[in-house]
Amino acid sequence: MNNSNIPNQEKSHPAFEVYKVLDKGFIRLVDCMPSPCDPNSISADDAIAQMARVSYGGGTDKKRDNSGLINYLMENRHTSPFEGVVLKFHIKMPIFVERQMSRHRTSSQNQLSARYSVLPNDFYIPNPDRCQGQDVDMKQGSCGHLSNNEKISKSINEESNTSYKKYEELLEMGLSRELARTVLSVNIYTEAYWMMNLHNLLHFINLRVSPHAQYEIREYAEKMRETVKRIAPITLNSWEKHVQKSISFSKEDMSIIKECSNVDIELIKNKTEELGWSKRKTDKILSKLNSLS
């Protein structure tokens, strides 16, 4: 560790960059299967394609390239090959962020124990701009500007210091670490190793980069997305195209669309032909549109 308590990058591959997050946190990849640092190992994108190809054995079809295959898997929600890539992160985050992280049950994790160790005096202090009011439209969220935001940020800082002083006092009085910690607030930082396969990680990123997720966890999820981009760029691109930036309609939505819009099937056929779409791809969009009529 260097002076700022942020670990140094230990491996040369860019995916192992250490990202500083919030005021005192960080996130870094510590391990990955397959390893991008091993010259004898295939890339994560190739590992996904390799895993999928076992389904076809010798096969009868002409072989797609890996990028085409990944697109096909993603588009058709053939998800298990993406479970063949596993990423392990080292994360320093406030306890209230860790609580949200651990709701994702498909992660495996191990966390710093405040029963074994005395926690350092590291609290997340939201900067004044982040000290916003209660959002009325999104009931869980915050929004807007508060004129007393400087005072609020300072007050959170003072309260955190007071709780840490009490923690030290209780330890001094001989109280066990496991009970002394109960006076600390949920903005104190903790550290964890957090591991997930790529299928579940993309699901996690989808939920936690969303504007509905809290700003603080979004900051970590964004860095995870950056890491995935460096580990499996073809997969990330395909996921953005077929999952993250795609939308679905309910039966109710579809009946409104059917009633209020005029879909010109011939025009769409001409357009897909002009774009050089395959028959399979064209048939797929046409069958979706036909289900509206």
Ligand X SMILES: Cc1cc2nc3c(=O)[nH]c(=O)nc-3n(C[C@H](O)[C@H](O)[C@H](O)COP(=O)(O)OP(=O)(O)OC[C@H]3O[C@@H](n4cnc5c(N)ncnc54)[C@H](O)[C@@H]3O)c2cc1C
Q: Catalytic positions, please?
A: 208
Whether the CB-CB separation of 37 and 13 falls below 8 Å is answered with: yes
Q: Which is nearer to ligand X, 214 or 272 (CB)?
A: 214
Q: Which is nearer to ligand X, 190 or 200 (CB)?
A: 200
Residue in 11, 88, 90, 104 binding ligand X, rule: CB under 6 A: 104
Closest CB 207 distance from ligand X, rounded Å: 4
207 binds ligand X (CB under 6 A): yes
Residue in 130, 203, 218, 242 binding ligand X, rule: CB under 6 A: 203
103 binds ligand X (CB under 6 A): yes
Is the Cα torsion angle 250, 255, 261, 265 positive or negative in sign? positive
Whether the CB-CB separation of 51 and 84 falls below 8 Å is answered with: yes
Closest CB 65 distance from ligand X, rounded Å: 30
99 binds ligand X (CB under 6 A): no
Alpha carbon distance 156, 149 (integer Å): 11
Whether the CB-CB separation of 48 and 232 falls below 8 Å is answered with: yes
139 binds ligand X (CB under 6 A): no
Q: What is the DSSP letter of 106?
A: T
Q: Which is nearer to ligand X, 152 or 213 (CB)?
A: 213
Closest CB 126 distance from ligand X, rounded Å: 19
86 binds ligand X (CB under 6 A): no
245 binds ligand X (CB under 6 A): no
Alpha carbon distance 286, 23 (integer Å): 50
213 binds ligand X (CB under 6 A): yes
Whether the CB-CB separation of 204 and 221 falls below 8 Å is answered with: yes
Residue in 71, 160, 197, 200 binding ligand X, rule: CB under 6 A: 200
Residue in 78, 151, 212, 271 binding ligand X, rule: CB under 6 A: 212
Whether the CB-CB separation of 44 and 235 falls below 8 Å is answered with: yes
Alpha carbon distance 44, 83 (integer Å): 11
77 binds ligand X (CB under 6 A): no
Unique residue bearing structure tokens 């890539």: 85
Q: What is the DSSP letter of 63?
A: P
| Count of residues of this chain found to bind ligand X when the rule CB under 6 A is applied | 9
Alpha carbon distance 223, 221 (integer Å): 5
Q: Which residues bind ligand X (CB under 6 A)?
A: 103-106, 200, 203, 207, 212-213
